[in-house]
Every structure is written in C-alpha cells, then in structure tokens.
Amino acid sequence: MHSQLDLTLAAVCGLFCPACIIYIAAHETPEKRAEIARQRNRPVESLVCDGCRAERRYSYCESCTLYACAVEKGVEFCGLCDEYPCEALKAFQAARPHRIELWEAQARIREVGYEQWFAEMVERYACPECGTLNSAYHLACRACGAEPANAYVADHKAEIVNWQK
C-alpha cells in the first residue's frame, strides 16, 4: 500500500495514482497486469506506471496533454493555473467515472495542500475492512472482498456500474 506521501503519485489533474487500476496491476498483481494487457491487446511490458510525474508511465499518461500543459505553465496542479478549469480538463473529467471528483480534488489541494489531500486520498480509496487501496472500479475489495471496496465506490457506485455496461 502506498500511504507514504509522494508527489509523483499525485496527478496534475487531481487523480490519485495509487488508486489507478493500471498502477495497482503494475505494482502489485502480475496476474491482473497480464489480464489487462490481453484485454487491451498490448504487450504486458507496456503496462508499467510509477505515477503521473514519474519517468515510467502508462502510454495514456505518457502522452497526457494535461501533464504537458502543467509542466509548460510551471504549475504543480491544474487547479493552480490561471486558466482553470480549461476545456481540456473539463472534457477529461467528464469522460470516465474515476474522474468524477476532480473538481473537489483541485479545490482540496488549493485549500489544504497536496500533502493533506494525499493523506485523505489514501483513506478515501482504502478498504474500510482491511485497508487495501482499491481503484474506483473495484466494487468489492480486491484483497478481502468487502463491499464497497472504498468510500469512492460507496459514493459513486451507480455511475461506475452504469459506465461499465
């Protein structure tokens, strides 16, 4: 579990990298990594990611225009940009259920700093029964089977299930 603060694991858009299904598979579950690679018709070696700001990133994250923009503008998070929220971030946020809380994340980062936000995300994505970090798409805890897998899923299960259909 990644409870240790690391800016590399805090995406510029407000996503919490340790709760990403690709990040989890790449770091903890080789079987899941192989399964996802098969599903996406990609080589298993391509499913590596050490976080938004790391050298090794998943191909989607590697080509992220939000990250490139933040670097170019010299901001650590999109919410600190003069153009926030831009059209690119709005489109990104609306596309998938694991991005529902980006506006709240950016507001929280501005309000309390990324360190406190990071600690809150560890708690938000942890299984209430065993403490395992789960993604927004793990409806049940991947370690102990508890439902919901985390507070995020408890709050957004309907949107997640509807999107998965």
Please determine, for residue 17, whether its predicted confidence score (pLDDT) is greater than 80: yes
Q: How far apart are CA 159 and CA 98, in angstroms?
A: 9
Please determine, for residue 3, whether its predicted confidence score (pLDDT) is greater than 50: no
For the stretch 75-108, pLDDT in tens is 999 999 999 999 999 999 999 999 999 999 999 9
Mean pLDDT value across residues 137-162: 96
Residue among 12, 21, 20, 46 at smallest CA distance from 117: 12
Please determine, for residue 121, whether its predicted confidence score (pLDDT) is greater than 80: yes
Contact assessment for residue 117 and residue 109, using Cβ atoms and an 8 Å cutoff: yes
Residue linked to tokens 């938000």: 124
Contacts of 89 (CB under 8 A, 6+ apart): 13, 66, 78, 102
The values of phi and psi at residue 84, to 5°, are -70, 135
The domain spans of the chain are 7-164
The answer to whether the predicted template modeling score (pTM) of the entire model surpasses 0.85 is: yes
Please determine, for residue 4, whether its predicted confidence score (pLDDT) is greater than 80: no
Partners of residue 126 on adjacent β-strands: 133
- Return the structure tokens found at 4: 């240790």
pLDDT for 6 equals: 81
Instruction: Report percent pLDDT > 70 for the chain.
Output: 97
Contact assessment for residue 164 and residue 137, using Cβ atoms and an 8 Å cutoff: yes
Please determine, for residue 2, whether its predicted confidence score (pLDDT) is greater than 60: no
Partners of residue 10 on adjacent β-strands: 16
Residue among 148, 61, 53, 152 at smallest CA distance from 99: 152
Q: How far apart are CA 119 and CA 4, in angstroms?
A: 8
CB atoms within 10 A of CB 41: 6
85 preceded by cis ω (within 30°)?
Answer: yes
pLDDT for 5 equals: 67
pLDDT for 1 equals: 41
Q: How far apart are CA 6 and CA 164, in angstroms?
A: 30
